[in-house]
């Protein structure tokens, strides 16, 4: 089973909120100084899902990422975890793209890689949380897709997946090839072994430009955008703390329940 995993490198989501800054005028996120970017969390789960499928069914895993030179660290981490090959998509023309423009470039790269059985991505990236890329990829590649996925099984050549819903899951059977947006419920990403880290250090990672993918500058990046960003700002969160006074824990529980009901929260 040959799998392509698309990953995104994002600013470290673990940094304290006080370190997160945006340039409202330029409508851009200001990267926090001295903080290394990381692989988006859901994408780590997608890599792990691919590795587990490979362990069960064999095949090859290729990782794709669109971004500047720093994404090579993300791709190396994926190889360290056990992926077989990686390709970086980098071109000035890719800059300023939205989810759709990114999906156009990724879809072209997936086609260029050749035959595949599955494309995995994270359900959404932990920076913008748009969750558009997996569905756009399915559309552009003309194959079925499902997001967010918490379970993947191969049953007699058919794909069985479970889609996370608000109150449970939806079982789906679908043909291969397909695109799946992976959710965190599915697994626990592994830590790279030492052999993996060393293999990643030696890995050759080719860089493909828009021209390599047969794309024109108006299809990708800023010019390929379909979403218009009108304003970028850090919302001010207000919180109010209310103490429930009571003599006993039981009484406190009752009062708390009543108060929550009043606020129509339960």
Site residues, another protein (CB under 8 A):
12, 14-16, 19, 32-36, 38, 188, 190-195, 197-198
Angle at 50 between CA 48 and CA 53, to 5 degrees: 110
**Nearer to another protein (CB atom), residue 165 or residue 193:** 193
Min CB(1)–another protein separation in Å: 21
Shortest Å distance, C-beta 59 to another protein: 20
At 200, give phi and psi (nearest 5°). -65, -35
- Residue 93 C-beta: closest distance to another protein, Å: 31
Please report how close the Cβ of residue 41 comes to another protein at its closest, in angstroms: 11
Shortest Å distance, C-beta 193 to another protein = 5
Strands 61-66 and 85-89: parallel
C-alpha distances in Å from residue 132, one per residue of 138, 147, 226: 10, 10, 12
- Per DSSP bridges, beta strands 28-30 and 21-23 are antiparallel
Closest to another protein by CB, 195 vs 259, is: 195
Residue 10 vs 109, nearer CB to another protein: 10
Distance CA 101, CA 122 (A): 17
Choice between 151 and 190, CB closer to another protein: 190
| H or E stretch covering 155 | strand 145-155
Instruction: State the nearest-atom distance from the C-beta of 191 to another protein, in Å.
Output: 5
Termini Cα distance of the chain = 46
The nearer residue to another protein, 48 or 91, going by C-beta atoms, is 48
- Residue nearer to another protein on the CB measure, 145 or 192: 192
- The answer to whether 90 and 9 have CB atoms below 8 angstroms apart is no
Cα 209 to Cα 212: distance, rounded to the nearest angstrom:
5
Peptide bond into 107 cis (omega under 30): no
Phi, psi of 98 (to 5 degrees): -105, -170
């Amino acid at each position: 089973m040959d799998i392509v995993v698309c990953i995104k490198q994002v600013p470290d989501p673990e940094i304290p909120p006080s370190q997160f800054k945006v340039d409202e005028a330029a409508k851009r996120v200001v990267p926090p100084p001295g903080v290394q970017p990381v692989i988006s969390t859901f994408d780590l789960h997608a890599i792990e899902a691919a590795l587990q499928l490979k362990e069960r069914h064999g095949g090859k895993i290729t990782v794709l990422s669109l971004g500047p030179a720093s994404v090579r660290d993300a791709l190396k981490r994926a190889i360290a975890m056990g992926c077989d090959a990686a390709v970086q998509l980098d071109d000035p023309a890719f800059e300023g793209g939205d989810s759709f423009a990114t999906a156009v470039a990724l879809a072209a790269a997936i086609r260029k890689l050749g035959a595949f059985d599955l494309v995995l991505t994270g359900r959404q990236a932990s920076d913008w949380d748009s969750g558009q890329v997996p569905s756009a990829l399915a559309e552009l590649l003309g194959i079925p897709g499902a997001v967010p996925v918490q379970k993947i099984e191969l049953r007699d050549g058919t794909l069985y997946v479970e889609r996370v819903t608000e109150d449970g899951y939806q079982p789906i059977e679908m043909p291969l090839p397909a695109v799946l947006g992976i959710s965190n419920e599915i697994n626990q990403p592994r830590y790279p072994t030492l052999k993996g880290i060393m293999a990643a250090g030696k890995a050759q990672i080719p860089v493909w430009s828009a021209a390599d993918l047969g794309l024109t500058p108006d299809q990708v990046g800023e010019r390929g955008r379909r979403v218009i960003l009108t304003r970028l700002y850090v919302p001010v969160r207000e919180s109010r703390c209310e103490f429930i006074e009571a003599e006993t824990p039981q009484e406190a529980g009752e009062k708390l329940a009543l108060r929550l009901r009043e606020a129509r929260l339960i």
